Structure 1
Amino acid sequence: MTTEPAVHLQRTLTRELPHHEGQNVRLQGFLHARRDLGGVQFLVLRDRSGVAQCVGSGLHLPLPESSIEVVGKVKAHPKAPGGFEVQVESLRVLTAAVEPPPVEIPKMEWNVNPETLLDYRVVTVRGLKERAALKVQAELVAAFRDHLLTEGFTEISTPKIVSAGAEGGANLFPIDYFGHPAYLAQSPQLYKQIMVGVFERVFEVAPVYRAEEHATSRHLNEYLSLDVEMGFIESEEDVMDLETRLLDAIMTRLRERAGAEFSLLGATIPDVPARIPRITLMDARQLVQGKYGHAVGGKDLDPEAERLLSQHYAETEGSDFVFVTKYPRAARPFYAHPEINPDGTADPDLTRGFDLLFRGIEITSGGQRIHDHAMLMESIAAYKLNPESLAGYTEVFKYGMPPHGGFAIGAERLTAKLLGISNVRYARAFPRDRHRLTP
């Protein structure tokens, strides 16, 4: 069995094997799995496009996850992944693993102890399901960018080291900035509003940081936020219409580019209605109590109410999505635009804020923002915030800011719900939660 490199053959990816039946190919990848059956050896090679079964004899197989090169002839085989296998003529070890992986990569399941998989994330992230989730998220983010560009948006980049919080100063990670107090940004909200005065329509894809002491399957302390802000709107209805179009474009791309990943994970890509159902928060609370007997306390929907409301719209309208609108002022940040009464006055209790629920969980928070300087300063006072700490933000509203609004989508949370992943930490390559700073 030769170990010489097959320099005369171009590298073939595993997904391309059906196009090379009867031909010799050169594969490069990782030794995903191996078996030895009475002198006949089976190995599964994994590359960026998938896996391929290879069979040979007299092979000196390295440890799993070693980087290898296989040269051999492609043959149809109904039980092999993709319907084809490679009959090995030569095997070359490119880089040998020096010890076995701490977990068997082909046998990993998300329903085992999540800490085990996360402790060894540098290796477990190589798993087929693990990387499938990240591939879906990459396509989701690409679709987010592409669609917004077609609608005249400009991508921006905002500071992640800030002097004050965007939502009143709560849940901030403090840092020492050359002897001065500073914080990791919990949202690009204030900056993206300022940039509406430059480009009218802007978006950003960037991490945000929340110092919330959650230890749940749906929260991260660092996550990828997909932020959108648009100017010259009539109301929050324009913002919800935009998000509907955006989600439809995202799902279309996922069907085109990530069908294999959804199949691997047994997940379905939802249809986005031409108009996602909309219900006010007050009506939503009454609905879940009247139909399901679930009383909701507090100023927002609790997780069970979100689940029941989503169940209602899935059953009655066939929609996996529902907008919950007209949030009370107490449940929204200081920059949320108040609802406007029929007589033209501002409602003291309600805002033009909304959430989007998807399959029982909130994936978006958004709404129309205050654009009038006097109204904004009144709101800051009502929220008992320090106007001096927000001066860099409020200044721009002296100079003709248009009516505007936007939203933010948590990429990991949307990915997890799309794929049926029970713990959002598996939808990020290297998650950060209350207890995890490594790897």
Structure 2
Amino acid sequence: MGAGGRIHIADMAKPMAGQKVLLAGWVEDLRELGKVSFVTLRDATGLAQIVVKGGLQASMDGLTRQSVVAVSGTVAETRARDFEVEVSAEQIDVLSRAIHPLPIDPLGRLESGMDNRLNARALDMRNQKTASIFRLRHRVLESLRQGLSKRRFTEITTPKIIGSASEGGANLFSLEYFGKTAYLAQSPQLYKEQMTMGLERVYEISGFYRAENSHTGRHLSEFTSVDIEAAFMDYTDVMDVLEQLVREACVAASECTIEQEATGHKAEVPSDIPRITYSQAVDELGSDCGVSFGDDLLDSHLRLLGEKHPGYYFLTDWPTKLKPFYIRPKDDDAEVSRSFDLQHGYLELSSGGSRLHDPSILRSRLEQQGLDPALFADHLRAFDWGMPPHSGWGMGLDRFMAVLVGVDNVREAVLYPRDPDRLSP
């Protein structure tokens, strides 16, 4: 069957009564009432009622729910409660039969565990709650790209196969690369910094990899990251950009009323995002938690903070020693960095800050953190060509989507998640 002449179900309306149409989709329900049969047909845009009469009913013999069909017929007004119009079928072509029993019930009448749903992910996409999560994800990505573009950011694509352990990270996947050892990138950090030399403002939305043996509802081995880097911006400037983009994405999601109804969760739109310094957070936690300045905040600490701040908030001005080598300390206090994390409750969504752009200081920081500057020779070379001051951040899209659709496990918002236990389908 070709696409020519076919219309989407959502495009049918009362003014089309009497018109002939061609629909295609999958059978969601079947009912036989004597000499009349009713087929509930769904495509990616909605549901239609198909009325089948007379000898045409024989063409439905053996037809199963979830089978794919093409229906030619005439649009007519209907007294059915859930439909504005229906289609009186004149021809039904079975394009593909669904073999029962199916591994999961895509209508959700019989509940399936997440592993079973992921194993049958393509079929799970016919579940309207699942499909709505990914329609919302599409809308959020669209909003982020539009927002960055109007702020004069240029989209770039950086290598995912790299020759050295970028950022000095220990959690990298290694692979054999034509007789050499290569790694899968865990972020575009070094490349995006270099690109600020000429493009000034850049962003990338792409998949990255982290060999972290974590078994939680928020960690993945392959994840989608939204990254920006901007010349001549301080960390407060890029924090402003992040806040604006988050708000715009939340508004875009909140306008998708059908999808929100399907997920059963209304997107929270923050009016503003409060900023709390690391020192203030330590004070809020109190001495009972045993946290003092310079200590990293553990998951248990962040959960306590999340109870006090259940929505979006920034944690700013972290101790320099807790941040990567490229984060710039404050001029008046080198123990405090120009950095921030974006949190939603206990969940970290983004991390960023101002970067060091003086190559001599950058080399010293590498040595201070026990990293060999020789391994970063290509990166450092670019700094000798005149690197502008710059700042940026990276945000985990999958975690952001989990917050937007109100799910606890980030795998719900990823098509085919990869973690230490899952490498297929």
Fold similarity call, TM over 0.5: yes
| Equivalent-residue separation in structure 2 for 1:55 and 1:165 (angstroms) | 62
Structure 1's 300 and 96: CA in aligned 2 closer, same or farther, altered over 3 A? Answer: same
| Equivalent-residue separation in structure 2 for 1:218 and 1:255 (angstroms) | 23
Aligned to 1:31: 27
| Equivalent-residue separation in structure 1 for 2:131 and 2:171 (angstroms) | 31
Aligned to 2:274: 277
The answer to whether the Cα contact below 8 Å between 2:357 and 2:383 also exists between their aligned partners in 1 is yes
Structural mapping, 1:9-88, within 5 Å: 10-20=5-15, 22-24=17-19, 25-36=21-32, 40-57=36-53, 58=57, 59-60=60-61, 62-70=63-71, 71-77=73-79, 79-80=81-82, 83-88=84-89
Structural mapping, 1:12-411, within 5 Å: 12-20=7-15, 22-24=17-19, 25-36=21-32, 40-57=36-53, 58=57, 59-60=60-61, 62-70=63-71, 71-77=73-79, 79-80=81-82, 83-107=84-108, 112-233=112-233, 235-256=234-255, 258-273=256-271, 275-289=272-286, 299-313=295-309, 320-341=311-332, 346-347=333-334, 349-411=335-397
| Equivalent-residue separation in structure 2 for 1:326 and 1:307 (angstroms) | 19
Give 3-state SS (helix, strand or coil) of 1:152's partner: coil
| Equivalent-residue separation in structure 2 for 1:431 and 1:377 (angstroms) | 37
| Equivalent-residue separation in structure 1 for 2:89 and 2:284 (angstroms) | 63
Shift of 1:358: 2.1
Aligned residue identity for 1:243: L
Structure 1's 420 and 37: CA in aligned 2 closer, same or farther, altered over 3 A? Answer: farther
| Equivalent-residue separation in structure 2 for 1:366 and 1:47 (angstroms) | 42
The answer to whether the Cα contact below 8 Å between 1:17 and 1:74 also exists between their aligned partners in 2 is no
Give 3-state SS (helix, strand or coil) of 2:236's partner: helix
Shift of 1:78: 5.7
Aligned residue identity for 1:434: P
The answer to whether the Cα contact below 8 Å between 1:21 and 1:75 also exists between their aligned partners in 2 is no
The answer to whether the Cα contact below 8 Å between 2:168 and 2:371 also exists between their aligned partners in 1 is yes
The answer to whether the Cα contact below 8 Å between 1:72 and 1:90 also exists between their aligned partners in 2 is no
The answer to whether the Cα contact below 8 Å between 2:105 and 2:112 also exists between their aligned partners in 1 is no
Structure 1's 91 and 359: CA in aligned 2 closer, same or farther, altered over 3 A? Answer: farther
Taking structure 2 as the reference length, the TM-score comes to 0.90
Number of residue pairs aligned between Structure 1 and Structure 2: 417
**Structure 1 runs of 4+ with >6 Å offset:** none
The answer to whether the Cα contact below 8 Å between 2:103 and 2:116 also exists between their aligned partners in 1 is no
The answer to whether the Cα contact below 8 Å between 1:129 and 1:265 also exists between their aligned partners in 2 is yes
| Equivalent-residue separation in structure 1 for 2:323 and 2:76 (angstroms) | 60
Taking structure 1 as the reference length, the TM-score comes to 0.87
| Equivalent-residue separation in structure 2 for 1:417 and 1:53 (angstroms) | 35
Give 3-state SS (helix, strand or coil) of 2:196's partner: helix
Aligned residue identity for 1:134: F
The answer to whether the Cα contact below 8 Å between 1:359 and 1:417 also exists between their aligned partners in 2 is no
Shift of 1:266: 1.6
The answer to whether the Cα contact below 8 Å between 1:21 and 1:76 also exists between their aligned partners in 2 is no
The answer to whether the Cα contact below 8 Å between 2:195 and 2:202 also exists between their aligned partners in 1 is yes
Aligned to 1:317: none
Structural mapping, 1:419-438, within 5 Å: 419-438=405-424
Aligned residue identity for 2:249: I
Give 3-state SS (helix, strand or coil) of 2:248's partner: helix
Shift of 1:128: 1.5
Shift of 1:227: 0.7
| Equivalent-residue separation in structure 1 for 2:86 and 2:93 (angstroms) | 18
Give 3-state SS (helix, strand or coil) of 2:407's partner: coil
Give me the identity figure in percent. 35
The answer to whether the Cα contact below 8 Å between 1:373 and 1:398 also exists between their aligned partners in 2 is yes
Shift of 1:254: 2.7
Aligned residue identity for 2:266: T
Shift of 1:311: 4.1
Give 3-state SS (helix, strand or coil) of 1:279's partner: strand
Which deviations, in whole Å up to 9, do the C-alpha atoms of 1:292-350 show, x marking residues without a partner?
Answer: x7666894333454344344345xxxxx3100011223332111111221xxxx51x32
Aligned residue identity for 2:209: Y
| Equivalent-residue separation in structure 1 for 2:217 and 2:146 (angstroms) | 30
Give 3-state SS (helix, strand or coil) of 1:130's partner: helix
| Equivalent-residue separation in structure 1 for 2:411 and 2:326 (angstroms) | 30
| Equivalent-residue separation in structure 2 for 1:218 and 1:64 (angstroms) | 35
| Equivalent-residue separation in structure 2 for 1:282 and 1:23 (angstroms) | 70
The answer to whether the Cα contact below 8 Å between 1:14 and 1:47 also exists between their aligned partners in 2 is yes
The answer to whether the Cα contact below 8 Å between 1:75 and 1:87 also exists between their aligned partners in 2 is no
Give 3-state SS (helix, strand or coil) of 2:167's partner: coil
Structure 1's 410 and 61: CA in aligned 2 closer, same or farther, altered over 3 A? Answer: farther
Shift of 1:265: 0.8
**Bigger mean CA deviation after superposition, 189-198 or 52-61:** 52-61
Shift of 1:62: 2.0
Which deviations, in whole Å up to 9, do the C-alpha atoms of 1:112-153 show, x marking residues without a partner?
Answer: 421111122232233222221111111111111111111111
Structure 1's 63 and 357: CA in aligned 2 closer, same or farther, altered over 3 A? Answer: same
